[in-house]
Amino acid sequence: MAETNGHTSRPRVLIPEKVSPDGLRLLQETLDVDEKKGLTPDELKDIIGEYDALIVRSETKVNAQLLAAGKRLKVVARAGVGVDNVDLEAATKLGVIVVNSPQGNINAAAEHTIALLMAVARNVGSASVSIKSGKWERSKLVGVEVKGKTLCVLGLGKVGLTVARAAGGLGMNLMAFDPYANPSLAASANVELVSSMDELLEQADFLTIHTPMIASTKGIIGASELSKMKKTARILNVARGGIVDEKSLLEAIEAGTIAGAGLDVFTAEPPQPGDTASKLIEHPSVVATPHLGASTVEAQENVSIDVCTQVISILSGQLPRSAVNAPIILPEEYRTLQPFVTLLEKMGSLYTQHFGQNNSTQRLRTTFELVYEGTLASTNNTKPLFASLVKGLVSPVTSTDSLNINIVNAELVAKERGILISESKSRENLEQEGYSASVTLKVRLDPRSPSASRRGNPIEGEQSSQRKTKIQDQIITGFVVNNQPYISRLGRFSCQFVPTGTLLICRNYDEPGKIGVVGERLGKAGVNIRFMSVAPIEQNGNNGGGLTVDGHEAKENEALMILGVDKPVDEEVRKSLIAGDGVVEASVVLL
């Protein structure tokens, strides 16, 4: 119960946008609900102080000023997925939990993709405009059938998989590229997972985009990618504007090297007259809709019930299911576990970026062993550590708005991604190491398995055909000293570095001159080195049995160079390091 003027009253919820009534009925049982549409930002700011919860869609800008004025505010709920209209940092600082509905509109978005697929194939948009203007144009508007054609899915997550299943029902051949997809889910939907985007582009009659919008996917389909596609290919985007570069797409359609597109999302929404998106929308070979992916009665019901249930949970003191900024850690555990929570997230992210990025077939669908060592072994509640590892493993490949991992949902997210994590404890005393607790993340690779040689293993690299190298377990160990997380082992190398910022990690032959080569190349590229650490091969423990990829004895003459740099190292520079003498492999990670 909330206190108002000394009287106890029911908590109050403000809803300034159109949200389906199904969830609101649930709220009304225990809460006071005010629906007030059409408020100006100032009017909203004037009254927000009277409310405990705010429920919005994409139109209300929940900025820092509004949040600061919401003195009683405990939760902001987004009836949908995207939280780009909510200042998450300000909400977190103020202790306001932000929740959304990551599942509620998946089917709607997938069905809308199918609607655009058929509309693009059969010229439905142009035909409708033509007949409404009194014309009867039949021969000009001959379409193509989708049956027997190849639908290529970029990003086989929740929406991508649902689209694939539906397109299978239309008799389409299905292919996907998603380095982190769950292969058994792909197989169950008859989707062939390919190991490179180029392969996908070459095969596509229709290419449908379902990745999140993150730094690595911004403009991922640009002029070079479009030039690899068939002239008859058509592109669909119901994910986010900007994943397909609008200028390149317009040029390709105008040049006739891409046959058409179905677009629901745009870089700026609504597009402004004269901008590239508007020119695309006007083009007769493009079918466009104004971000309608989630706009079905059913999806709006789902998201409404989903977020309203979470508002009720939070206002009654429980944890929500899908909090974007939910605590991974409860206040009472904060002091002891927080540094390890940070460490585990960094280790997970390091794993995905370092061990995953050199080979496009690397998948998260792996069995991880997580060992808590020293005093950490006496922790009864490892849930926050587990959740934090899952968050770290997945976050480099998922957008923050669709991924809200916390202690409530971590196991479910891991299961959905095909990630298996076994936890164990080792009470070995670590005091002689200079710290009391550490944690090790391990993925066991079988040298006899053909997949081991294709798994992004850092031991085998782009030069592995020239010099024989060993298949090793993928291991990361970390520890905490004075609340500061450190990494002490990476693969078979013994190291000590703080996992933060942009790091360039080079595996090189342990010979003179290698540091100079890398330093000079970075200098030429204008990249400043903040710190550097050289990691020799770990002397203790399991260093493997000296087997090469093809079973021969290997030389132990390698080291790892870890450089903290002041800005991202671009792909050209990274590749040029490997092309030079002595660097076998280089990865860039952002922690």
CB of 81 to ligand 3PG, least distance (A): 3
CB of 272 to ligand NAD, least distance (A): 20
Residue nearest to ligand NAD (CB): 157
Taking CB under 6 A as the rule, does residue 158 contact ligand NAD?
Answer: yes
Taking CB under 6 A as the rule, does residue 280 contact ligand NAD?
Answer: no
Q: How do strand 420-426 and strand 437-443 relate by DSSP bridges?
A: unpaired
CB of 269 to ligand NAD, least distance (A): 10
Identify which of residues 198 and 333 has a Cβ nearer to ligand NAD in the complex.
198
321 noted as active-site residue: no
Compute the half-sphere exposure of residue 222: CA atoms within 13 Å on the CB side of its CA. 6
Angle between helices 297-315 and 21-28 (to 10 degrees): 20
Cβ atoms of 370 and 422 closer than 8 Å: yes
Q: Which does 57 bind (CB under 5 to 8 A by kind): ligand NAD, ligand 3PG, none?
A: ligand 3PG
Strand-pairing partners, residue 489, are 477, 494
Interaction pattern, residues 497-516, with ligand 3PG; x per rule: CB under 6 A: --------------------
Taking CB under 6 A as the rule, does residue 362 contact ligand 3PG?
Answer: no
Cβ atoms of 50 and 3 closer than 8 Å: no
Between CA 422 and CA 441 the distance in angstroms is 10
Cβ atoms of 194 and 175 closer than 8 Å: yes
Strand blocks (E) in 71-219: 75-78, 97-99, 150-154, 173-177, 191-193, 206-209
Annotated active-site residue in 291, 489, 492, 507: 291
Identify which of residues 295 and 338 has a Cβ nearer to ligand 3PG in the complex.
295
Q: Which tokens belong to 166?
A: 């539906």
Between CA 144 and CA 235 the distance in angstroms is 14
Q: Among 111, 225, 245, 264, which residue sits at the site for ligand NAD (rule: CB under 6 A)? A: 264
Taking CB under 6 A as the rule, does residue 295 contact ligand 3PG?
Answer: yes
Annotated active-site residue in 59, 145, 269, 553: 269
Taking CB under 6 A as the rule, does residue 204 contact ligand 3PG?
Answer: no
CB of 161 to ligand NAD, least distance (A): 8
Backbone angles phi, psi at 4, to 5 degrees: -130, 120
Between CA 182 and CA 277 the distance in angstroms is 34
CB of 401 to ligand NAD, least distance (A): 6
Write the DSSP symbol of residue 450. Answer: G
240 noted as active-site residue: yes
Taking CB under 6 A as the rule, does residue 176 contact ligand 3PG?
Answer: no
**Closest residue by Cα to residue 380 from 425, 430, 330, 328:** 425
Taking CB under 6 A as the rule, does residue 294 contact ligand NAD?
Answer: yes
Annotated active-site residue in 57, 210, 234, 240: 240
Residues 137-156 touching ligand NAD, rule: CB under 6 A, are 154-156
Q: Among 105, 162, 276, 353, which residue sits at the site for ligand 3PG (rule: CB under 6 A)? A: 105
CB of 307 to ligand 3PG, least distance (A): 11
Compute the half-sphere exposure of residue 78: CA atoms within 13 Å on the CB side of its CA. 31
Taking CB under 6 A as the rule, does residue 16 contact ligand 3PG?
Answer: no
Between CA 461 and CA 467 the distance in angstroms is 10
Q: Among 23, 167, 177, 325, which residue sits at the site for ligand NAD (rule: CB under 6 A)? A: 177
Taking CB under 6 A as the rule, does residue 211 contact ligand NAD?
Answer: yes
Alpha-carbon distances of 112 from 103, 234, 407, rounded to whole Å: 15, 16, 33
Taking CB under 6 A as the rule, does residue 438 contact ligand NAD?
Answer: no
Taking CB under 6 A as the rule, does residue 396 contact ligand NAD?
Answer: no
Taking CB under 6 A as the rule, does residue 160 contact ligand NAD?
Answer: yes
Pairs from 443-448 (Cβ < 8 Å, separation ≥ 24): 443/351, 443/355, 443/366, 443/367, 443/368, 443/369, 443/473, 443/474, 443/475, 444/367, 444/369, 444/473, 445/471, 445/472, 445/473, 445/474, 447/471, 447/544, 447/547, 447/549, 447/551
Taking CB under 6 A as the rule, does residue 125 contact ligand 3PG?
Answer: no
Q: Which tokens belong to 467?
A: 């010099």
Q: Where are the alpha helices (DSSP H) in 480-552?
A: 514-524
Identify which of residues 2 and 292 has a Cβ nearer to ligand 3PG in the complex.
292
Residues 39-58 touching ligand 3PG, rule: CB under 6 A, are 57-58
CA dihedral 178, 184, 187, 188 (to 10 degrees): -120
Q: Among 104, 212, 320, 447, which residue sits at the site for ligand NAD (rule: CB under 6 A)? A: 212
CB of 240 to ligand NAD, least distance (A): 4
Alpha-carbon distances of 239 from 107, 399, 552, rounded to whole Å: 13, 11, 47
**Closest residue by Cα to residue 206 from 150, 254, 144:** 150
Strand-pairing partners, residue 323, are 99
CB of 31 to ligand NAD, least distance (A): 27
Q: Which tokens belong to 242?
A: 């900007």
Q: Among 101, 217, 248, 469, which residue sits at the site for ligand NAD (rule: CB under 6 A)? A: 217
269 noted as active-site residue: yes
Taking CB under 6 A as the rule, does residue 391 contact ligand NAD?
Answer: no
Stretch binding ligand 3PG (CB under 6 A), from 292-300, 311-319, 477-485, 529-537: 292-300
Q: Among 99, 253, 280, 294, which residue sits at the site for ligand 3PG (rule: CB under 6 A)? A: 294
Q: Among 179, 293, 327, 447, which residue sits at the site for ligand 3PG (rule: CB under 6 A)? A: 293
Residue type, 408: V
Taking CB under 6 A as the rule, does residue 81 contact ligand 3PG?
Answer: yes
Alpha-carbon distances of 274 from 126, 156, 280, 281, 428, rounded to whole Å: 20, 34, 10, 11, 67
Stretch binding ligand NAD (CB under 6 A), from 9-17, 88-96, 102-110, 370-378: 102-110
Between CA 139 and CA 16 the distance in angstroms is 49
Taking CB under 6 A as the rule, does residue 203 contact ligand 3PG?
Answer: no
Taking CB under 6 A as the rule, does residue 398 contact ligand NAD?
Answer: yes
| Contacting residues toward ligand NAD, per CB under 6 A | 81-82, 105-106, 109, 154-160, 177-178, 180-181, 210-213, 216-217, 220, 238-240, 264-265, 291, 293-294, 397-398, 402
Q: Would you name the residues annotated as active-site residues?
A: 240, 269, 291
| Contacting residues toward ligand 3PG, per CB under 6 A | 57-58, 80-82, 105, 293-295
